[in-house]
Structure 1
């Protein structure tokens, strides 16, 4: 499907001059001092996928590793909502940064972005974070495996190698529902045409409307993997996609006897995680309702606004203890990445091991992420 650029406000000459794209080397964007970015372009990638491009107001440049993510801080229906999205753009093009979002049925954030965010809008964004990157695992030969919108971090890696003229031996196999659902199909073809050692393969579950499709159909299997990447056992493998896809790939590689030291995966869909979180609250609450171990040892957590008190074990994350006690708290990733569970700590101390979901200035102001904080004393939380 041909990409379509949605119309937006024309950038005036003064604003363009302030960016100084070509006159000087830009400074690096610091989200601690400037956390608001300008949406400068929206592209339609497929019938239910859009890419959103952002730039800094002062023209400063973005620095990140391909495969990392950013966290958007949005307000939807009057409620603050945080979501992490993998960066799809190349770090070798530092003046803009992009995310590519699939519209998820019932997903509050993806639908809001598709229906509302346009060029000229401003969005609060937290700095790039994450450890899923080929930059941390240099290899002569890579195998990229993705499904659906899981293509985005691997697209960032592919774009980076292409932009840097690094003709690395890469096989990129992407699974899609139909040929019309293949994200970045034409661009991946262009990269393959420009890079002698970059090969891309697509496998589609169904034909859909494109009856002339000549590629393979069905689900990725070990037999198909051996046909498309005969030497996959020698490659560094990066995988991203929905949970069932990830599980199927792990099973395939285990069956083949692949060395998992050279296996790397990333899988977080915050549109579905909230539903899973709600289920986890119910399950965990039922499973621990009759347990009394934490009542005899641990710290008292006082949620001041809701007037709730719970007991949290010294090796237990506060969010887990709250869930077990039936306290409903906003959360998404449960890994210290997205910032959804951020609260003000009125008193007490915690051991917080986050992964980029909170700014240093917020920590200095007494904010904590409950999902990755273990109590070191009794706590009073402004919640």
Structure 2
């Protein structure tokens, strides 16, 4: 064993002054593939699970003939002889589209990194909640694989959202891992099923109700989230609305992964304060109620003796929909109101909190 350790310590670590050589291209989902690389010198890769690489990709039609694109590493540092990124080409993709169409084993490409601070490698938490959408699954795969390889006792609720079941990346690999330990609890959410293939799992947009069903003990878990910005905003609002301690929340953006803690963006989420007052005027009834920001419009109405019809009180059924004629509210719903209704000024009273002065047509 000591001879093996001496051998590994004698092998150099890859530096980004050396190009990467592609060794495999594996299709994962529509327009999505995993690209694995080795160091031509035989150097090993050292990085933290969840970090990213920036690739320099040929682009003859672009200024300078190249584009730089950032990809989270989907492989684990516990397997240091190769390094893998997993990418999906969008309709307007340039770099990823070139890789899917042209990159083949034996070709070399320049890379910068690894870099990034989105990792659980320094966390002391024992229980995790990984929430991702689309290719945001890649850092979660890296972190989960690393813990698996290290023989750690897993306690991970792993949630991934995709448009269809066929677009769930790493599904088979994750199911294989989960079938060998009770500590990896997989939850998949899709917008629509694949044609002619029944889907019996969660369907729709990720929301508070799903979170409570998937991870009832979410308050006790360290949360890592990655996906498109609107998705991460929805996750933060769901957690914040349920009283989660956001000091235990970490996220990585699709568009702008950060290299240092100082580069982390400030999240401009609304934080409701029970000590901050608000005012709701129920115009039709002629009643004005002074409340705290943490009070919902529905609760304020009931306390004022008004009966706004309601059902679920979770923003799901839409029974309590009322028209807001002025002012601002913070609404975190679970699908009970359409975007068109919101644009027309309607709110769900059960999950809307007043900000300042608000007038409601009731």
Match in the other structure for 2:285: none
Q: Is the aligned partner of 1:197 residue 2:183?
A: yes
Match in the other structure for 1:90: 76
CA contact (8 A) 2:116 2:257 kept: no
Match of 2:166 among 157, 180, 184: 180
Residue-pair matches, total: 256
1:199 Cα deviation from its structure 2 partner: 0.8
SS of structure 2 residue aligned to 1:136: coil
Q: Distance in 1 between matches of 2:87 and 2:161?
A: 17
Match in the other structure for 2:108: 122
SS of structure 1 residue aligned to 2:11: coil
What are the Cα deviations for residues 194-225 of structure 1, in whole angstroms up to 9, with x where unaligned? Answer: 22211111011101225222111111110111
Match in the other structure for 1:320: none
Q: Distance in 2 between matches of 1:146 and 1:28?
A: 34
CA contact (8 A) 1:147 1:176 kept: yes
Match in the other structure for 1:50: 33
Q: Distance in 1 between matches of 2:190 and 2:201?
A: 8
Match in the other structure for 1:28: 12
CA contact (8 A) 1:144 1:170 kept: yes
* RMSD of Structure 2 on Structure 1 (CA): 2.2
In structure 2, runs of 5+ residues without a counterpart are 265-362
CA contact (8 A) 1:180 1:210 kept: no
Q: Distance in 2 between matches of 1:254 and 1:119?
A: 46
Match in the other structure for 1:144: 130
Q: Distance in 1 between matches of 2:166 and 2:95?
A: 23
Q: Distance in 1 between matches of 2:136 and 2:196?
A: 22
1:24 Cα deviation from its structure 2 partner: 3.9
Match in the other structure for 1:245: 231
With over 3 angstroms needed to count, the CA separation of the structure-2 counterparts of 1:237 and 1:28, relative to structure 1, is farther
With over 3 angstroms needed to count, the CA separation of the structure-2 counterparts of 1:35 and 1:169, relative to structure 1, is same
1:138 Cα deviation from its structure 2 partner: 2.4
Match in the other structure for 2:321: none
Q: Distance in 1 between matches of 2:215 and 2:195?
A: 28
Q: Distance in 2 between matches of 1:121 and 1:161?
A: 31
CA contact (8 A) 2:224 2:251 kept: yes
With over 3 angstroms needed to count, the CA separation of the structure-2 counterparts of 1:210 and 1:87, relative to structure 1, is farther
Q: What are the equivalent positions in structure 2 for 1:162-177 lying under 5 Å apart?
A: 162-177=148-163
Normalising by structure 1, we get a TM-score of 0.63
Match in the other structure for 1:64: 47
The structure that has the greater radius of gyration is 2
CA contact (8 A) 1:55 1:95 kept: yes
What are the Cα deviations for residues 291-332 of structure 1, in whole angstroms up to 9, with x where unaligned? Answer: xxxxxxxxxxxxxxxxxxxxxxxxxxxxxxxxxxxxxxxxxx
With over 3 angstroms needed to count, the CA separation of the structure-2 counterparts of 1:334 and 1:151, relative to structure 1, is closer
In structure 1, runs of 5+ residues without a counterpart are 1-20, 270-332, 338-352, 356-383
1:334 Cα deviation from its structure 2 partner: 9.4
Match of 1:228 among 214, 226, 250: 214
CA contact (8 A) 2:14 2:44 kept: no
Q: Distance in 2 between matches of 1:167 and 1:49?
A: 31
Match of 2:121 among 131, 135, 139: 135
1:139 Cα deviation from its structure 2 partner: 0.7
1:335 Cα deviation from its structure 2 partner: 5.8
What are the Cα deviations for residues 317-375 of structure 1, in whole angstroms up to 9, with x where unaligned? Answer: xxxxxxxxxxxxxxxx49678xxxxxxxxxxxxxxx889xxxxxxxxxxxxxxxxxxxx
Q: Distance in 1 between matches of 2:130 and 2:32?
A: 20
Q: Distance in 1 between matches of 2:31 and 2:196?
A: 16
SS of structure 2 residue aligned to 1:134: coil
